[in-house]
Amino acid sequence: MVKQVQKRTSKDLKLYIISMIKDAGKLPKDISKSKINYHLKPFIKAGLVENPSYAVWRITDKGNKLLDIKDVQKQKLYTITKTRTFSKKTTIRAHGFRWQLQLPKRAYFSTTQRTKLIQMSKLPCKVLDNGVVATDILGNKTHLANRTINVWINPDVYYTGATAKDSYREASYQFTKIIALLERYYGLSLRINKQYKFKPSAKHFGDLGNELALQYKKDNKSVRIYQNGKEWLIIDFSDSKFAELETTDNSQNIVDMDNIITPFFNTLREDPKIINTLKKENEELKDILNTLQKSVRYLMDKEVRSVNIDTFKY
């Protein structure tokens, strides 16, 4: 096997390595690490290929835009601009996505047809007990079911933006690229009335560097907050990578982050004493309400037209 590899030209090796990354999300095992490093170095430097986690490789957004897999061997890397960087205002990290893509009727297949379709695409697959065909697309677990395709985005992948809405928009855009790749594998369009129909069945948004999260991390503690038995806010360091306050309720975590968490902590940063102020005002409000309640009870018991409220104050 090694001898066959050695007969490959430099151009063939580049094409082979990049194709393996694009199709399987990993490096070939029949080439030495030194050769792989040699041929990948210019692609990494140009921001076309990245290694987000151990043994996981992928073509970057920039690579998908600029890298023609059929033309890898003659790509002029020196003409490519530097990889994009995020703004310093980036604070929200979107991650933990599970997408559900609705299939058009022409793509409704039996289990046998689905298996044949995956096999024709030369992707490794496994038929589950419920007839769903499981495979892997660029490190993302993918289930081809009767009416939908479910894609669990690699847990090491995340999208950032100034707001939860921004990071969600980026995540959606990147998922459309995965859909386009699925279309190439399956050899058919997945559009319904000229557009893709998909939604996230799971997603999290983290407020990076949140002061409360930093304090919890320092104390080696975690917290989970529920409403009506449903979790919506957590501080958890299971992956030990980020100190962040996360909104987790899939039905409204964009609103929770952008309209509740972010404004609250921005206000707290501008006025650190606001909690004490609110607490004091709350006590004053309780006193006023107690006074009014006593006044009302007195008026209901007595046939009087006026009352001196000062009489009822503590």
Helix axes 33-45, 10-24, angle to 10 degrees: 80
Structure confidence at residue 205 (pLDDT): 96
User: How many other CB atoms are found less than 10 A from the CB of residue 225?
Assistant: 12
Per-residue confidence of the chain (314 residues) as pLDDT tens digits?
Answer: 323 333 455 656 777 788 888 878 888 877 788 888 888 887 887 788 888 777 788 888 877 766 655 444 444 433 333 333 344 455 899 999 999 999 998 888 888 888 888 888 778 888 898 889 999 888 899 999 989 999 999 988 999 999 999 999 999 999 999 999 888 888 889 999 989 999 999 999 999 888 888 888 888 888 899 988 999 999 888 666 788 999 999 999 999 999 988 888 777 767 777 666 766 777 777 777 777 777 667 666 655 555 565 655 54
Q: Quick check: helix, strand or coil at residue 44?
A: helix
Structure confidence at residue 156 (pLDDT): 87
The domain ranges of the chain are 2-79, 92-269, 274-312
Alpha-carbon span 208 to 268, nearest angstrom: 16
Identify the helix (H) or strand (E) that includes residue 202.
Answer: strand 198-208
Residues composing the chain: 314
Structure confidence at residue 283 (pLDDT): 74
Structure confidence at residue 78 (pLDDT): 33
Show the CA angle centred on residue 57, arms to residues 50 and 186, nearest 5°: 120
| DSSP-derived secondary structure letter, 238 | S
230 bridge partner residues? 227
Environment class of 172 (CB within 10 Å of its CB; exposed 0-12, middle 13-18, buried 19+): middle
Question: Residue 123 CA to chain centroid, in angstroms?
Answer: 25
Structure confidence at residue 27 (pLDDT): 86
Tokens linked to 215: 């304090």
Q: CA–CA distance from 300 to each of 83, 99, 235, 295, 314 (Å)?
A: 74, 60, 50, 9, 21
Q: Quick check: helix, strand or coil at residue 232?
A: strand
With the C-alpha atoms ordered 120, 124, 129, 133, is the resulting torsion angle positive or negative? negative
Structure confidence at residue 187 (pLDDT): 84
On whether the 2-79 domain is CATH 1.10.287, my answer is no
Model confidence, pTM: 0.60
**Residue located via tokens 């604070």:** 91
Structure confidence at residue 6 (pLDDT): 36
